[in-house]
């Protein structure tokens, strides 16, 4: 399972879902789905998200193994 902190980082940067979507070149609905964990980004999109916030990819995305 992959969790993310997109909503947290967005709040820290005073950024709306629409603002983030525009920076990433995706729709607001995509950002909503990402934040809710209903959609996993491509590796390229994950790196773009991390770069928007100026952090490493593992700061935004957390992989949890289910045993």
All structural domains of the chain: 2-63 (1.10.260.40)
Q: Which two tokens stand for residue 7?
A: 């909503």
pLDDT one-digit tens code per residue, 43-54: 999 999 999 999
pLDDT one-digit tens code per residue, 8-38: 999 999 999 999 999 999 999 999 999 999 9
Which pLDDT band holds residue 65 (cuts at 50, 70, 90)? Answer: confident
3-class DSSP state of 35: helix
Cα–Cα dist 47/31, whole Å: 14
3-class DSSP state of 42: coil
pTM for the structure as a whole: 0.92
Cα–Cα dist 1/62, whole Å: 8
């Amino acid at each position: 399972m992959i969790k993310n902190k997109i909503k947290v980082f967005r709040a820290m940067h005073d950024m709306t879902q629409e603002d983030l979507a525009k920076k990433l070149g995706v729709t607001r609905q995509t950002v909503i789905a990402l934040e809710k964990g209903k959609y996993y980004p491509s590796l390229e999109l994950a790196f773009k998200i991390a770069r928007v916030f100026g952090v490493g990819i593992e700061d935004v995305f957390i992989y949890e193994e289910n045993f």
